[in-house]
Amino acid sequence: MSRSDRPTVVLVHGAFADASSYAEVIPRLIARGLDVIAPAVPNRSLIGDAAYVAEIVRQTPGPVVLVGHSYGGAVITVAGTEDNVTALVYLAGYALEEGESLGELQGRFPDSDLADALVYTPFPVEGSDQPGTDVSVRPDRFPAIFAADVDPRLASVLAVSQRPLAAQAFTEAAPAAAWKTKPSWGLVASADHTINPDVERYGYRRAGMTTVEVDSSHLVMLAHPERVVRLIEEAVRATSH
């Protein structure tokens, strides 16, 4: 694969996490000769977060393979319509239909263990006298729900360093569904207690994705990084010329 053909892998993190959730994946991708960008997603709104990631994609020369974990799957569903995106990879993620919100997709299935472990915290919104609402996970419940097969010491750090998701993001409808025009791969975390695995399966099946299942907690990138890298490599190979 020539330098000009080799895509940049853009890794989009989800809610209650940040780009460090890809800490085990990034060095493996770099060792395989791939360029990588792992942006800090604001986690303020689906539309705004997708616009933020789309701008990063636009400024990236050459083809892009866009990878989204969890809520990041919803983000790449919208941002992936950029012209230079050649493939989408969903990791325990939401594959929304155009016009669908996170809440609507989740609402079709029984709640996961996450539902009764959420914490709602007001935050000031610049230019408004009405606060926003941040959603995070109770730190004492975080390891079991989010990272059951991750090193317990790391899970305890992740629990107290969460990047919350604004509640607004749960209700915004996706204005586009990039999987309709871009080749897509999906990983189901079959032991997921954050997103009901059937939510993942349903979205991937509806999109006609190439799908794999891994016996993993929600944070599959930290629990099974080599398997994640192999799936990303598959998408890279299949869409590179």
pLDDT digits (tens, 9 = 90+) for 120-156: 999 999 999 999 999 999 999 999 999 999 999 999 9
Q: Using one digit for the tens of pLDDT, what is the confidence trace for 27-75?
A: 999 999 999 999 999 999 999 999 999 999 999 999 999 999 999 999 9
Q: How far apart are CA 219 and CA 34, in angstroms?
A: 22
pLDDT level of residue 4 (50, 70, 90 thresholds):
low
3-state secondary structure the chain: CCCCCCCEEEEECCCCCCHHHHCCCHHHHHHCCCEEECCCCCCCCHHHHHHHHHHHHHCCCCCEEEEEECHHHHHHHHHCCCCCEEEEEEECCCCCCCCCCHHHHHCCCCCCHHHHHEEEEEECCCCCCCCEEEEEECCCCHHHHHCCCCCHHHHHHHHHCCCCEECHHHHCCCCCCHHHCCCEEEEEECCCCCCCHHHHHHHHHHHCCEEEEECCCCCHHHHCHHHHHHHHHHHHHHHCC
| Mean pLDDT score, 81-110 | 98
Under a CB-based contact definition with an 8 Å cutoff, are residues 198 and 84 in contact?
no
pLDDT of amino acid 1: 47
More confident residue, 93 or 5: 93
pLDDT(236) > 70: yes
pLDDT of amino acid 241: 73
Query: Given the structure tokens 């590179």, which residue do they identify?
Result: 240
Q: How far apart are CA 130 and CA 101, in angstroms?
A: 23
| CA 28 to each of CA 25, 150, 232: distance values in angstroms, whole numbers, following the listed order | 5, 18, 11
Under a CB-based contact definition with an 8 Å cutoff, are residues 148 and 217 in contact?
yes
| Mean pLDDT score, 81-94 | 98
The pTM is what?
Answer: 0.97
Q: How far apart are CA 31 and CA 52, in angstroms?
A: 27
What backbone phi and psi angles, to 5 degrees, belong to 18? -140, -170
pLDDT(222) > 50: yes
CA atoms within 13 Å, Cβ hemisphere of 53: 38
Q: Using one digit for the tens of pLDDT, what is the confidence trace for 152-191?
A: 999 999 999 999 999 999 999 999 999 999 999 999 999 9
pLDDT(3) > 60: no
